[in-house]
Amino acid sequence: MKKKTDDYLNTRIWVRSHRKLRIIAALTNSTVVEVIDRLAQQEIERMGPVQINDQQEEKINTIQFEAFNEMMDKRLREDPEFRARYEEAGKHVAERERENSKNVYSQRPSKSTDE
């Protein structure tokens, strides 16, 4: 059976925080990722039930969107094979969109002149 792997994102942290996280990880015989996850969970539990308003939700979505874009930009710059696959996929998507738009127009009912 294949072990489930978690998804990862890159994030920026201060050097001083990274050093502290590495010390905690070493002392607890865990990884930095596990320490971050544990600390985040503890903070959520400490805060108790939280209501997120629309403005906060939008800020969260914006941060996630920017992080994804940064990750994709970096991967496209650094991995030529990934970039080639990405560009090829883009061509297929554009081709499918053209075909779908043709199908939409060809499936429109024609005006009947029998009336």
Residues 6 or more apart in contact with residue 34 via CB below 8 angstroms: 25
8 A C-beta contact, residue 25 and residue 31: yes
pLDDT grade, residue 7 (50/70/90)? confident
Q: What is the pTM of this model?
A: 0.46
8 A C-beta contact, residue 66 and residue 76: no
* Rounded CA separation 32/22 (Å): 6
Residue tagged 């053209």 (tokens): 98
Structure tokens at 100: 């779908």
Condensed to tens digits (0 to 9), the pLDDT of residues 65-88 reads: 898 888 899 989 999 999 999 898
Condensed to tens digits (0 to 9), the pLDDT of residues 87-114 reads: 988 888 888 888 887 776 666 565 555 5
Domain boundaries, the chain: 8-50, 52-106
Structure tokens at 26: 């070493």
